[in-house]
Amino acid sequence: MSHYAVFGHPVSHSLSPRIHAEFGRQTGIALDYTAIEATPAGFAQALDAFAAAGGKGANVTLPLKEAAFALCSVTSERARRAGAVNTLTRNDGQWHGDNTDGIGLVRDLTARLGLDLRGRRTLLLGAGGSARGVAPALLDAGVSELVIANRTPERADALVDLLGEPGRAHSRYWNDLVNEGDFALIVNATSASRDGLQEFSLPFALAASRTLAVDLNYGEAAIPFLAWAQAAGCRDRVDGLGMLVEQAAAAFELWHGVRPDTAGVYATLRGKDASLVTAD
């Protein structure tokens, strides 16, 4: 039986073991998938121990995605464009890193929900590991402009520089967003709700009825941003559960060479667990 895991801090909430167990049942692939708690300071040691015990691959959640990138000997183009890794594969005694967050988000929005992202002026809130994972994919999906805002502006500047598309990707100070007009797509990649903030404060002028509001969190952690979006008049509001399932499917395919069905897994998680609180 092959051994896989998800690393994070905290990680007890993670749905990845349940999702990958179901994917294994679907495809007839025997695997063992566990959640491993690792702080940023202890991540490298924990990953070494996992590899020594026969670990074949791993997912990486907050706050370790940028640290995972630094520990890889080989990285995919997607990971290099993001500067962050959420999927690790053990090959020839080395870790190979990829990032499936962005393709997971785009697939959820376009394939499952039938939405068209092309030509949308887009605001991305946050510049950490999750934002880094989805930013390149949003550009590839055809958004007309990507404005990145972070409470630490240097992080937003660094992400824009990494993307290398000065004509389409720009950074803005958080407090200056009031002057930006409205957006057709707003993506929340911040951890404000997970950090205990119960209200999400942004100018309502950023949104209109046609604005698609997306939170990379789901369940209770998505409530503050999606409540703001509803109050701002956004008709379409989406949380991150679908993205979570889709990025997991992309990782599963990298490891096993077969893509599992995501619709049934998504429906089960959505229907049975109203208490789910955070996204990987």
Q: Is the dihedral of CA 65, 69, 74, 77 positive or negative?
A: positive
Residue 154 counted as an annotated binding residue? yes
DSSP codes joined into one string, 45-77? HHHHHHHHTTEEEEEE-TT-HHHHHHH-SEE-H
On whether 152 is known to bind a ligand per the annotation, the reply is: yes
Q: Would you say 217 is a known binding-site residue?
A: no
66 annotated to a ligand binding site: no
Q: Cβ distance 72 to 95 under 8 Å?
A: yes
Q: What φ, ψ does residue 277 adopt, rounded to 5°? A: -120, -30
- Is residue 56 annotated as a catalytic residue, yes or no? no
Cα 128 from Cα 125, distance rounded (Å): 10
Residues forming beta bridges with residue 90, ordered by sequence position: 95
The answer to whether 153 is annotated as binding is: yes
| 240 marked as binding residue | yes
Query: Is 76 annotated as a binding-site member?
Result: no
16 known member of a binding site: yes
Residue 161 CA to residue 179 CA, distance in Å, equals 22
Exactly one of 65, 78, 132, 172 is catalytic; name it: 65
Residue 12 is labelled as binding a ligand: no
Binding residues for shikimate: 14-16, 61, 86, 101, 218, 247
Binding residues: 14-16, 61, 77, 86, 101, 126-130, 150-155, 216, 218, 240, 247
Binding residues for NADP(+): 77, 126-130, 150-155, 216, 240
**Residues with catalytic annotation?**
65
